[in-house]
Structure 1
Amino acid sequence: MSPISNLFTDNTMSVPPYAILVLTTIITVLWFLLKRSPQPPLPPGPRGLPIVGNLPFLKPDLHTYFRDLAQEYGPIFKLNLGSKLTVVVNTPSLSREILKEQDINFSNRDVPLTARAISYGGLDIVWLPYSAEWRMLRKVCVLKLLSRKTLDSFYALRRKEIRERTRFLYEKSREKSAVNVGDQLFVTMMNLMTNMLWGSSVKAEEMESVGTEFKGVVSDITRLLGEPNVSDFFPWLARFDLQGLVKQMRVYARELDAIFDGAIEKMTNLGSKNDGECKDFLQQLMKLKDQEANSEVPITINHVKAVLADMVIGGTDTSTNTIEFAMAELIKNQESMKRAQHELDEVVGKDNIVEESHITKLPYIVAIMKESLRLYPTVPLLVPHRPAETTVVGGYTVPKDTKIFINVWSIQRDPNVWENPNEFRPERFLDKKSCDFHGTDYSFLPFGSGRRICAGLALAERMVQYTLATLLHSFDWKIPEGHVFNVEDKFGIVLEAQKPSYCHACSEVV
């Protein structure tokens, strides 16, 4: 037999069918892997240390620190803060990409442990993850509690409180005493808020003590929410609460809970005497709770309290600080103040009193609020977002559950967008009328944008504009002799004035 014929004998080695299948699968997978375009890199950023990452290098004023890092590493950069990856964006186009083009993916929050402690485990509108539960609560607040009709029904309460504060300031003007603008505004906003929340449930004589009680509690809660917590950066340390921040927050949570329980008890006791009409937010919430008891996503008593906490914490310091910054800038820029007062005299009249109905005819007052929020956004980095899935932003990979900061403070002072960005010039908003508060212009996002835009936007507009218009119409404001007046901000989860503003309210007639 020839050598060639031996190749075709029965002894020839055969390949099993399953081996061919496995080999084909491996080759196919390798082909796809080689063909697939590589995953975009993570954003650039400063190098950190082992384990702690960039934590030791953080500066207290994060808004300016992040702006400086953006100038070095670009408009999107990353930081490793302990075991958490953090990404910061600093331009309108990147904000649009996150808050509009990928809105659903970025609709979750990165919830600090102190926030969970004060919000009944994160049951409020601010911190709840994007879900049916959050959508139900948001719908209740926006369509029921904060609708135009409901806010109109509370106008008498706002009018009464603003006029009482005006009378107090008038007495101070007669005594020629300097007033702490921030303190007076806080009391005003607190009384306004508590009146709207449960004004008809708590007796009038108790309102002052409730407001005083809240002032210290709210200030401490806001401070703790902005305090860096090692347990957030290293979750495996959370059980130890090394800084005691969660323990402190639970103390304030119990105080707040006791106040809410007292208001609910009083409302319940007054229930039989009520005519069935809901006269405050608490009554409306409790009514909705009963109506939704058998729904797929019911409203619980803790949902009610969490919403109350949102409104107390989010509706006092924020509005107070916005008006304080506006007043400080106007006192420093007397020409702007005179222009605002001239508009008020033309529309309202020197011998009349400002009403909320005048606001639509006061474009310069609205422009002052916008310019104050441009320079001093209430929440300078917005509430941190968190992507539900790994995605690409600005050409870089952003992994699932990354903490996302949007540096609104930096965006709203960007010289590529704003002319003379650090100057207080309300006139710029008279020309830029399309730039509103509703998050459609991504160079101006004081209340955020998209699904998680601030639910209290409509209430904040009314409270700030009406209070500001009344203060400017009723008084001339002067810097006390010998005082140096600088308008500087102090970073926190809520931006506030670095130093209190003392000034004289001068008026002949109120």
Structure 2
Amino acid sequence: MDYQTLLLVITSLCASILIFIFKKLNQTQNSTKLPPGPKPLPIIGNILQLGKNPHRTLTNLSNIYGPIMTLKLGTLTTIVISSPQLAKQVLHENSQIFSNRTVPHALCALDHDKLSIGMLPTLASWKKLRKFCATKVFSTKVLDSTKILRQQKLQELLDYVNEKSKKGEIFDIGAAVFTTILNSISNTLCSMDLAHSTPDEKSQEFKNVMWGIMEEAGKPNVSDFFPILRPFDPQRIHARITNHMKKLCEIFDGIIEERISSRDSNSDSKVCNDVLDSLLNYNIEETTNKLSRNEMVHLFQDLFTAGTDTTSSTIEWVMAELLGNPEKLAKARKELCKEIGKDETIEESHISMLPFLQAVVKETFRLHPAAPLLLPHKCDENLNISGFNVPKNAQVLVNVWAMGRDPTIWENPNKFEPERFLERDINYKGNNFELIPFGAGKRICPGLPLAHRSVHLIVASLLRNFEWTLADGLNPEDMSMDERFGVTLKRVQSLRVQAISSA
């Protein structure tokens, strides 16, 4: 080897060593710029610290480490946001960078992550589904045209409660409302009931499948913390949710097939004017942007699973808070009696006439957001937020539960005080980041307009038509308000009540 060659080899070797050292130093500097957070344990990181109620744990940790902090959940770097200002930076100002998802392994069942409006990256397929939902499902025009269906399902709930009232029976208001919401959605989508208050075999199977999906999706999954374990599915969560999803997809596919066959065989067949008809008409009108059969089935699955439990649990929390605060209940009923005649049917158009009821709903969203950490976002490139490095591919959680309980934002944050919203012009439509139970920005929940109507209409009707007490003579101050973290934030104890007709 001549001198020049030797010099070249040594120079290359030294350069490689320097580059390696520089990269290591740079990685160390970058890691020190991560937001602060609790020290992780080897391998498992901070997993054990999360506990049964991660939203509460993360709130307590944010009081120590600040409104932006880092946790290591197995191999997953997780950034937690707990202030409206930083939530605005993530969800609005840098929405393009944070608009995609870290997808839980459970939701990869049957390739749902590749078909779901909630999980898809914000590219062509997502835009197509989003546009369809905005124009054919949740637009003001469509919701106005389907309100008679929701009114019918609400009347069935009132009839059920009235029957319980006549018999003096105690019942679970959350379960009753769940059936009502489920049938309201099923009639809006495909003009049929899929559940009954006294369920038959098929109805009960559908409910069980729905509950099964939500239960499995809400469980902590080791495969999410260590993606290398996904092929082994150690907790069998993926396997169980796949079985549930198969059953649900078979039900929806059968409904779609029956409607297509009906339309094909009879040109004079009944026009349902529901979402399924809109889907099929959309595919006839569109030449390039058609929805595949698989996309239709998984869209129905999204609309059911995202809309049913969130809305029904919110209504249950509203009723629990009002029953726990009798003076607020009396105030809400007084407003309803003043604005709406005794024999007048409450309609969605009455909502704007009921400012205190609207305040009650806002206060419930503040204290009990259905998705306390929203759905997880993913950072698509390295970004500086508030002087800290948010690394590419980090999972980002927005703790809306913490923001709703922040004493620097809300006076007496743990008290149920709807009056605070009579004095402040705040809504939950993604503009006021101190109250974003539906998220904000590109990924705001597309079902917000329907949830808004459903919650107000059902609560108003229940309060106007009945007087309410807790079951078994339970005093309001003794009622448990314990919550259980999952896909939605639910009550640990079901709300058992008695109703007395106001007629």
Q: Is the shorter-chain TM-score for this pair beyond 0.5, marking a shared fold?
A: yes
Aligned to 1:284: 278
Name the stretch that deviates more: 272-281 or 61-70: 272-281
Provide the C-alpha distance between the structure 2 equivalents of 1:314 and 1:203, rounded to a whole number of angstroms.
Answer: 17
Indicate which of 179, 190, 193 corresponds to 1:187: 179
Say whether residues 1:388 and 2:380 are aligned partners: yes
Deviation at 1:508, TM superposition (A): 4.5
Name the stretch that deviates more: 155-164 or 194-203: 194-203
Say whether residues 1:416 and 2:408 are aligned partners: yes
Say whether residues 1:66 and 2:58 are aligned partners: yes
> SS at the partner of 1:85?
strand
Provide the C-alpha distance between the structure 2 equivalents of 1:85 and 1:166, rounded to a whole number of angstroms.
Answer: 48
What does 1:460-471 correspond to in 2, within 5 Å?
A: 460-471=451-462
Aligned to 2:479: 485
Relative to 1, partners in 2 of residues 1:157 and 1:69: Cα closer, same or farther, differing over 3 Å? same
> SS at the partner of 1:77?
strand
8 Å CA contact retained: 1:371, 1:424 = yes
CA RMSD of aligned residues (A): 2.7
> SS at the partner of 2:422?
helix
Deviation at 1:201, TM superposition (A): 9.8
8 Å CA contact retained: 1:325, 1:376 = yes
Indicate which of 99, 105, 119 corresponds to 2:91: 99
Number of aligned residues: 481
Indicate which of 433, 440, 444 corresponds to 1:453: 444
What does 1:96-495 correspond to in 2, within 5 Å?
A: 96-117=88-109, 120-199=112-191, 211-271=203-263, 272=266, 274=268, 277-292=271-286, 294-295=287-288, 297-433=289-425, 435-483=426-474, 484-495=478-489
8 Å CA contact retained: 2:176, 2:197 = no
8 Å CA contact retained: 1:191, 1:208 = no
Relative to 1, partners in 2 of residues 1:89 and 1:223: Cα closer, same or farther, differing over 3 Å? same
Deviation at 1:56, TM superposition (A): 2.9
Instruction: Map Cα deviations across residues 383-406 of structure 1 (whole Å, 9 max, x no partner).
Output: 000011111112111111101110
8 Å CA contact retained: 1:385, 1:405 = yes
Deviation at 1:302, TM superposition (A): 1.3
Name the stretch that deviates more: 497-506 or 115-124: 115-124
Provide the C-alpha distance between the structure 2 equivalents of 1:266 and 1:201, rounded to a whole number of angstroms.
Answer: 15
**Partner amino acid for 1:473?**
R
Instruction: Map Cα deviations across residues 382-436 of structure 1 (whole Å, 9 max, x no partner).
Output: 0000011111112111111101110000011100000111111111111113x11
Unaligned runs of 5+ residues in structure 1 are 1-14
8 Å CA contact retained: 2:39, 2:46 = yes
Relative to 1, partners in 2 of residues 1:209 and 1:263: Cα closer, same or farther, differing over 3 Å? farther
Provide the C-alpha distance between the structure 2 equivalents of 1:476 and 1:243, rounded to a whole number of angstroms.
Answer: 46
Provide the C-alpha distance between the structure 1 equivalents of 2:295 and 2:330, rounded to a whole number of angstroms.
Answer: 46
Sequence identity (%): 37
Provide the C-alpha distance between the structure 2 equivalents of 1:446 and 1:475, rounded to a whole number of angstroms.
Answer: 29
Provide the C-alpha distance between the structure 1 equivalents of 2:479 and 2:73, rounded to a whole number of angstroms.
Answer: 37
Provide the C-alpha distance between the structure 1 equivalents of 2:434 and 2:36, rounded to a whole number of angstroms.
Answer: 23
What does 1:39-54 correspond to in 2, within 5 Å?
A: 41-54=33-46
8 Å CA contact retained: 1:289, 1:301 = no
Deviation at 1:313, TM superposition (A): 0.3
Instruction: Map Cα deviations across residues 323-377 of structure 1 (whole Å, 9 max, x no partner).
Output: 0000011111111111111111111112322122211111111111111111000
Unaligned runs of 5+ residues in structure 2 are none
Provide the C-alpha distance between the structure 2 equivalents of 1:128 and 1:459, rounded to a whole number of angstroms.
Answer: 22
Deviation at 1:85, TM superposition (A): 0.6
**Partner amino acid for 2:464?**
H
Aligned to 2:497: 503
Deviation at 1:493, TM superposition (A): 2.4
Name the stretch that deviates more: 500-509 or 319-328: 500-509
**Partner amino acid for 1:479?**
L
Deviation at 1:57, TM superposition (A): 2.9
Name the stretch that deviates more: 447-456 or 191-200: 191-200
Instruction: Map Cα deviations across residues 120-166 of structure 1 (whole Å, 9 max, x no partner).
Output: 34311100011121111101101221111111111111111111110
Deviation at 1:315, TM superposition (A): 0.9
Provide the C-alpha distance between the structure 1 equivalents of 2:326 and 2:131, rounded to a whole number of angstroms.
Answer: 43
Aligned to 1:4: none
Provide the C-alpha distance between the structure 2 equivalents of 1:52 and 1:330, rounded to a whole number of angstroms.
Answer: 42
> SS at the partner of 1:108?
coil
Deviation at 1:222, TM superposition (A): 1.2
8 Å CA contact retained: 1:114, 1:246 = yes
TM-score by length of 1: 0.89
Deviation at 1:505, TM superposition (A): 0.7
Provide the C-alpha distance between the structure 2 equivalents of 1:97 and 1:499, rounded to a whole number of angstroms.
Answer: 37
Indicate the structure (1 or 2) with the bigger Cα radius of gyration. Answer: 1
Deviation at 1:289, TM superposition (A): 3.0
8 Å CA contact retained: 1:79, 1:87 = yes
Aligned to 2:67: 75
**Partner amino acid for 1:151?**
L
**Partner amino acid for 2:395?**
K
> SS at the partner of 1:505?
strand
Instruction: Map Cα deviations across residues 424-476 of structure 1 (whole Å, 9 max, x no partner).
Output: 1111111113x112111111111000000000000101111100110000000
